[in-house]
């Protein structure tokens, strides 16, 4: 039976899940859809033969009291832990000042806190939403894998990157498509490198302000990680854009070469991932809600471009939906 009181959230990343949780806690029937096999989005871990590596977000910080309180809950639940790698900075930089930064990671992998959020939520993975159909009383979703879904949703909230929100919003007569088009997302080539032994380097994580790499980190130094010695090498957005159509093997080779110039040894094996939409130019637009259409947008790209922003933005959107009285 159709339930036009229900709300659909597209995207089971941190933004979509935090949004869905607030709605659910307020008594709203909500279903989350994601195209992937699991939840977490860019909070993710690649697992290979005897190794693991976080190939998306590397760590996160908590600056607002609200997010600090959420992180405290995750720490207590054991799905997040502090990570204090031995750090270095290469290339031009100013000496850091002020409070030391506390860095957190999911345990045993980056998606752990999103899995905790998703536990009590109906999440339908393996559902790539390709079209939003306006119908009497709300929206129907058309998916790549399952065609047109029978349910009618009173509202649809998109927690997907700007570039993926755009095509869904284009046919809809709403200003949200313009918001999505105005936000530009940036790519990042990422290498996961495995070594026979721990590289003899005076750092476990490094910010690099010169050349193709922007960040390297010893994944094996994060709490709860198991398996072979593993590092993550991340390219800058500019380098990634310039090499976007490179073969993965060739891009990986160039990034390993840059790692070797920092003193790193030759890896035993590598796995290469191209993020077309890794992060974005910082924005502070915040979530967007169009009550007359029953459509909303949230995601890191609307608020700061990082993990904390995604969480805040998702909750903010839920607050707007509840505040507009649209949820019941």
For binding to ligand FAD (CB under 6 A), which residues are involved?
A: 10-16, 33-36, 41-43, 56-60, 128-129, 159-161, 164, 188, 190, 234, 275, 278-279, 299-300, 305-307, 310
Nearer to ligand FAD, 28 or 162 (CB): 162
Return the residue matching tokens 């993550």: 232
Residue 64 φ/ψ, nearest 5 degrees: -85, 150
What is the rounded distance in angstroms from the CA atom of residue 234 to the CA atom of residue 207?
A: 10
Which residue, 146 or 328, has its beta carbon nearer to ligand FAD?
A: 146
Report residue 309 as tokens: 């922003």
The CA–CA distances, whole Å, from 129 to 5, 9, 11, 146, 236 equal 20, 11, 9, 9, 30
Least distance in Å: CB of 151 to ligand FAD?
A: 15
Considering beta carbons, is residue 33 or 293 the nearer one to ligand FAD?
A: 33
Say which residue the tokens 């760590």 belong to. Answer: 59
| Dist CA 164 CA 156 (whole Å) | 14
User: Least separation, in Å, of the C-beta of 196 and ligand FAD?
Assistant: 25
Q: How far is the CB of 1 from ligand FAD (least distance, A)?
A: 24
| Closest approach of ligand FAD to the CB of residue 88, in Å | 16
Q: How many CA atoms lie within 13 A of 314 on its CB side?
A: 33
Q: With 0-12 CB in 10 A as exposed, 13-18 as middle and 19+ as buried, what is 281?
A: exposed
Q: Which residue, 196 or 258, has its beta carbon nearer to ligand FAD? A: 258
Contact 176, 295 (CB under 8 A): yes
The C-alpha atoms of residue 45 and residue 311 are separated, in whole angstroms, by 19
* Identity of the residue, 70 or 188, whose beta carbon is nearer to ligand FAD in the bound complex: 188
Closest CB to ligand FAD among residues 43, 71: 43
Angle at 210 between CA 205 and CA 216, to 5 degrees: 20
Find the shortest distance in angstroms from Cβ 328 to ligand FAD: 25
Residue closer to ligand FAD by CB (options 153, 275) is 275
Helix axes 65-77, 307-323, angle to 10 degrees: 110
Query: At its nearest, how many Å lie between ligand FAD and the CB of residue 70?
Result: 14
* Min separation Cβ 261 and ligand FAD, Å: 21
């Amino acid at each position: 039976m159709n339930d036009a009181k229900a709300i659909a959230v597209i995207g089971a990343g941190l933004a979509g899940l935090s949004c869905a949780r607030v709605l659910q806690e307020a008594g709203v029937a909500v279903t989350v859809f994601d195209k992937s096999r699991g939840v977490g989005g860019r909070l993710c871990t690649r697992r290979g033969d005897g190794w693991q590596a976080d190939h998306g977000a590397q760590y996160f910080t908590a600056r607002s009291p609200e997010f600090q309180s959420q992180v405290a809950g995750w720490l207590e639940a054991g799905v997040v832990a502090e990570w204090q790698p031995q750090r270095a900075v290469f290339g031009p930089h100013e000496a850091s000042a002020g409070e030391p930064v506390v860095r957190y990671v999911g345990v045993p992998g980056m998606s752990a806190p999103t899995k905790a959020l998703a536990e009590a939520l109906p999440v339908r993975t393996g559902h790539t939403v390709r079209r939003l159909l306006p119908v009497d009383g709300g929206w129907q979703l058309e998916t790549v894998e399952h065609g047109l879904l029978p349910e009618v949703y009173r509202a649809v909230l998109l927690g997907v990157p700007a570039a993926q929100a755009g095509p869904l919003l284009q046919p809809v007569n709403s200003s949200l498509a313009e918001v999505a088009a105005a936000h530009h997302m940036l790519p990042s080539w990422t290498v996961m490198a495995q070594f026979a032994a721990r590289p003899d380097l005076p750092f476990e994580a490094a910010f690099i302000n010169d050349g193709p790499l922007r960040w390297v980190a010893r994944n094996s130094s994060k709490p709860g990680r198991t398996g072979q010695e593993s590092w993550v090498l991340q390219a800058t957005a500019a380098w990634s854009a310039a090499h976007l159509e490179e073969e993965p093997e060739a891009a990986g080779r160039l990034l390993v070469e840059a790692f070797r110039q920092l003193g790193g040894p030759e890896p035993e094996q590598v796995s290469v991932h191209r993020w077309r939409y890794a992060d974005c130019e910082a924005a502070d637009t915040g979530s967007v809600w169009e009550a007359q259409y029953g459509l909303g947008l949230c995601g890191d790209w609307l608020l700061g471009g990082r993990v904390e922003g995604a969480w805040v933005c998702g909750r903010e959107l839920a607050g707007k939906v509840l505040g507009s009285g649209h949820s019941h």
